[in-house]
Amino acid sequence: MKKILITGGAGFIGSCVVRRFVNNHPDYLIVNLDALTYAGNLQNLKDVENAPNYQFEKADIRNRDEVNAIFDKYGITDVIHLAAESHVDRSITNPLDFVLTNVIGTVTLLEAAKEKWKGHYADHLFYHVSTDEVYGALGAEGLFTEETRYDPHSPYSASKASSDHFVRAYHDTYGIKTVISNCSNNYGPYHFPEKLIPLMINNIINNKPLPVYGDGNYTRDWLYVKDHAIAIDLVFHEGKTGDTYNIGGFNEWKNIDLVQLLCKQMDEKLGREPGTSNQLITYVKDRPGHDRRYAIDAGKINRELGWAPSVTFEQGLSETIDWFLANEAWLNDVTSGNYATYYDTQYASI
């Protein structure tokens, strides 16, 4: 029986992955290890918390004793590692937190795997979930492939790049079975409202200014979080050991166009006059080191594992807005407390 440790399972993507594995793989035990930082929230997992094949452990991936104890307690057979500090703007303010969690935390987990699985590495998998941001920024043309040279620019992407290198090093040096996937920007239910899409949805609901960084012509490739979870399930089961898979939405949007689309859809859903929310758009000071464009070539995972996004952007965005409108209590809960302090500091100019 597989006993899979999913780290960061109380976060945005992690909770979607936990939900999928708990529901789709009743024969596996899913152990969710999460420190419950500001981004972790057990409300995200209410629907599976009593499932017989699910366990939660509040622990910190930087703490070797805590991690080792969880490996021993459950006899962990595999790891799907998502726990991270994940927000670029916070990494600009507090880079060391990103080094400690994303680099040291990942190596701490790798060390536990190396020790606990010694002598039978072939029977276990360490799956590291990473980001396309490790590849740096694209100009107007081109796509990131698995061969693109790493060129991170933010402390966040530098820390994720470093963690990717450590995962490969543990594969090459110790023979641990590893796999890495690098995904583009996700969106969907339970997305913490410090990131672009949920922040704009929250501000539109509350008639607050919509802060667009710089000229607004920065481009991201957006993927519905449930399609990312499906891809992770496939890579976990069918990915080639030691390999990397890029995951993306084939769905590039300039930030300003995306914000305008959100305004249009939300005006319709909220029964507001067309054009109402557009008036909230406010250009603000640019993010330092802001990567101009990300775009993924997801051809390899499509060819080798048969994965493709199942949801169109229009569908996914509409479902996402509906989810946020139906879950205002969740939104109010996560935006209370220290969110206000973060928001006031980050958006002091508006």
Contact set with ligand NAD (CB under 6 A)? 7-8, 10-14, 34-37, 39-40, 60-62, 82-86, 101, 105, 129-131, 160, 183, 185-186, 192
Go through 117-134 and write b for each residue having 16 or more CB atoms within 10 A of its CB, e for each that does not: beeebeebbbbbbbbbbb
In this complex, which beta carbon is closest to ligand TYD, that of residue 209 or of residue 242? 209
Distance between CA atoms of residues 295 and 142, nearest Å: 8
Distance between CA atoms of residues 239 and 235, nearest Å: 4
Cα within 13 Å of Cα(168), Cβ side = 11
CB of 130 to ligand TYD, least distance (A): 12
Distance between CA atoms of residues 147 and 149, nearest Å: 6
Distance between CA atoms of residues 133 and 250, nearest Å: 16
CB of 35 to ligand TYD, least distance (A): 21
In this complex, which beta carbon is closest to ligand NAD, that of residue 277 or of residue 295? 295
- Whether 115 is catalytic is no
Instruction: Find the largest Cα–Cα distance for the chain.
Output: 66
The two three-digit tokens of residue 158, written as one number: 């530098």
In this complex, which beta carbon is closest to ligand TYD, that of residue 264 or of residue 287? 287
In this complex, which beta carbon is closest to ligand TYD, that of residue 62 or of residue 160? 160
212 binds ligand TYD (CB under 6 A): yes
Distance between CA atoms of residues 62 and 271, nearest Å: 47
The two three-digit tokens of residue 25, written as one number: 């793989």
- Whether 156 is catalytic is yes
| Residues 62-91 interacting with ligand TYD (rule: CB under 6 A) | 88
213 binds ligand TYD (CB under 6 A): yes
Question: Could you say which of 156, 245, 294, 343 is catalytic?
Answer: 156
44 binds, among ligand TYD, ligand NAD, none (CB under 5 to 8 A by kind): none
Secondary structure (3-state) at 19: helix
In this complex, which beta carbon is closest to ligand TYD, that of residue 20 or of residue 220? 220
CB of 84 to ligand NAD, least distance (A): 3
83 binds, among ligand TYD, ligand NAD, none (CB under 5 to 8 A by kind): ligand NAD
CB of 159 to ligand TYD, least distance (A): 13
- Taking CB under 6 A as the criterion, the residue among 255, 265, 277, 335 binding ligand TYD is 255
Q: H helices within the chain, ranges in order?
A: 12-24, 64-74, 88-93, 95-98, 106-116, 155-174, 196-205, 225-238, 255-270, 299-305, 313-326, 328-334, 339-346
Would you tell me which residues interact with ligand TYD (CB under 6 A)? 88, 185, 195-196, 199, 211-213, 218, 220, 255, 287
Active site residues: 132-133, 156
